[in-house]
Amino acid sequence: MTTESGHKRRHRGEGRQALIDATIRTVSTKGLARLSYRSVAAEAGVGHTLAQHHFGTIDALLAETHEYCTEVSIAQVESNVGETDVEAYVHSLVDAALESPDLQVFMYELNLQSRLSPAVAERTATLYATYEDAVVEALSRLGVTIRPGTGTMVVAMLDGIIYQAVSMPGQKSRELSKAISLLASLLTTA
């Protein structure tokens, strides 16, 4: 059902999540510099005043979207813990991330913004610390010897692999698959 203004009518409580999803898509397709209430509202198919009503400021919208993306990323790490070997686990992490390329691009855009914003830097540091802890815990369960810096190394390598994959979709999937296998091999032979 649509309203007279042509916007899709949402049920109570759906507007906030629709705006978060629209923020992810907007930043992914237009960049952080073009993010506005109007661009998010247009992407969500709602009136622009709804974004301001729900979040108050663009910074608050970004903060909540960043928190949502962090929760999704950590859930992806934890949902793949059932894998039985390191290579399958690492492949599953990359595959899970690539199922939501817009979310990954949003995260990279915001992570770069952390250089300019202490609040974003704090959220980004928390994301990486939580992500590293979850990866280390999963790798430990798979029998990987964990040394100081293992979590940082693995997350940095996964970041690079995922960054390349979302930056050049489909162009290097075979090479990236080899890189994932090599990362798993390094972890199991170290």
Digits of tens for pLDDT over the chain (190 positions)? 454 545 455 455 578 999 999 999 999 999 999 999 999 999 999 988 888 899 999 999 999 999 999 899 888 887 766 667 899 989 888 888 889 999 999 999 999 999 999 999 999 999 899 989 989 998 998 889 889 999 999 999 999 999 988 988 776 677 888 999 999 999 988 6
- Residue 8: φ, ψ to 5°: -70, 130
**Domain containing residue 46:** 1-56
Q: Are residues 83 and 10 in the same domain?
A: no
151 touches 136 (CB < 8 A): yes
d(CA 70, CA 60): 15
Q: Are residues 46 and 62 in the same domain?
A: no
Q: Are residues 52 and 136 in the same domain?
A: no
184 touches 90 (CB < 8 A): yes
Token pair 């962090």: residue: 70
Q: Are residues 166 and 73 in the same domain?
A: yes
Q: Are residues 40 and 116 in the same domain?
A: no
d(CA 5, CA 3): 5
Residue 75 CB: number of other CB atoms within 10 A?
12
